[in-house]
Amino acid sequence: MTSSDVARHTVLQSLGGLKSCPSPQPGKEDKVDDSLRCLSINGRVGFENLPDQLVNRSIQQGFCFNILCVGETGIGKSTLIDTLFNTNFNDLESSHFHPNVRLKAQTYELQESSVRLKLTIVNTVGFGDQINKEESYQPIVDYIDAQFEAYLQEELKIKRSLFNYHDSRIHACLYFISPTGHSLKTLDLLTMKSLDSKVNIIPVIAKADTISKTELQKFKLKLMSELVSNGVQIYQFPTDDESISKINSSMNGQLPFAVVGSMEEVKLGNKMVKARQYPWGIVQVENETHCDFVKLREMLICTNMEDLREQTHTRHYELYRRCKLEEMGFKDVGPENKPVSLQEAYEIKRHEFYGERQRKEEEMKQMFVQRVKEKESILKEAERELQAKFEHLKRLHQEERMKLEEKRRYLEEEINAFAKKKAASELLQNQPLNASGPSVKKDKDRKNSSFM
């Protein structure tokens, strides 16, 4: 099959195929739309070339495909991507010493024959490295929602440019499972359960050469049983297209794929093959008896790439878009179950928003008035308390002042009485001294004359 045939098949698959008018079968009554008239043409018209026109336009525009790789550090995500697209992406080694999970996106331009592919690989750096792994999946969910939101905002613009818009929505999530041979980790279940409604999950068992074939088959059955019992919805390859329904049905029974990745070439006989060489032998990457790498590449890239893109847009993005618009208040039908246009929905939401704003403003005014009244009553009560305290202190001050005045008068009276007593005592002391002075002098004169 040439590249143009592949592109043609891809476009036809994206259109759902060109279906002719249903022809009535004997014994069956077909439900025919009354508004649809099936007419036969008598000659060539030319609209049979429409698929070729779409193929040519698609080849000119090119395609985009975005892959999200989720798995623990060292599980082989980068190696498998290199092997899938048969090239070395030369991704720089990222640091794993960050406290949270980081998502690293790299976009590459690939070309095979005349078909151009813009490939974006998003790697989860540090997933599972944290001691507390409860929120390891939240950055992944936020990243996927951010890409949906960016596309939705572009759609809602007045002047849109979706033709040239780089679609960064995740089309496929390769979830790498450690080949423990026992069961899924709690982190794996929580992560896949959080992502199954947002992205097409394709579980793969990494480094499948570390587990025997018997244990691998048991491990696959156990994994699928755990996914079903926990309600995790993984991507199922479509079976509605008759050309690929048989192989897709068979591959759905092979999930999860047990893969081995390697870009090293080993000489085997007269040819070089991609393989991993061990002391006990060689594991060939593209040998279906050794691993499921060829099945994964066939299902992911060759057969169902367009269906993955379509499922992302029609299922996951539409779910996000519907929930987002419903949160914003937009509805398809009005109160009487009548269709509502976008303008009518906008006007209804505008009136609701205006009424809600008026109601909140009134509530805020009433609350403000109530708080002002409460504050005024508190201030008045505090003012009364301060006034009462001031009056009490004033009375105490007056009483203390009266007491001090009384003590001052009493002290002045005592001082006056003391002064009077002091003056009287000084007077009494001066009088005897003056009276006894001459008699003492006469006695001295007598004594002196007697001695002579």
- Summarised one tens digit per residue, pLDDT across range 103-116 is 888 999 888 888 88
Residue 145 has pLDDT above 80, yes or no: yes
Residue 435 has pLDDT above 80, yes or no: no
Residue 37 has pLDDT above 60, yes or no: yes
For range 251-274, the mean pLDDT: 85
H/E stretch holding 189: helix 186-195
Q: pLDDT, tens digit, for every residue of 204-238?
A: 998 888 888 888 888 889 999 999 999 999 999 88
Q: pLDDT, tens digit, for every residue of 290-336?
A: 888 888 998 988 888 999 999 999 999 999 999 888 887 777 776 66
The residues that bridge with 319 in the sheet, in sequence order, are: none
pTM over 0.95: no
The residues that bridge with 281 in the sheet, in sequence order, are: 278
Give every CB contact of residue 150 below 8 A, 6+ residues apart in sequence. Answer: 168
Query: If you search the block for the tokens 């088959």, which residue do you land on?
Result: 217
Phi, psi of 268 (to 5 degrees): -130, 105
Residue 444 has pLDDT above 70, yes or no: no
The predicted pLDDT at position 171 comes to: 93
CA atoms within 13 A on the CB side of 16: 5
Letter string b/e over residues 22-57, b meaning 16 or more CB atoms within 10 A of that residue's CB: eeeeeeeeeeeeeeeeeeeeeeeeeeeeebeebbee
Q: What is the mean pLDDT of the chain?
A: 82
The predicted pLDDT at position 76 comes to: 85
Give every CB contact of residue 145 below 8 A, 6+ residues apart in sequence. Answer: 198, 320
Residue 242 has pLDDT above 60, yes or no: yes
Q: In which band, very low, low, confident or very high, does the pLDDT at 17 lie, cut at 50, 70 and 90?
A: very low
Pair type for strands 201-205 and 172-177? parallel
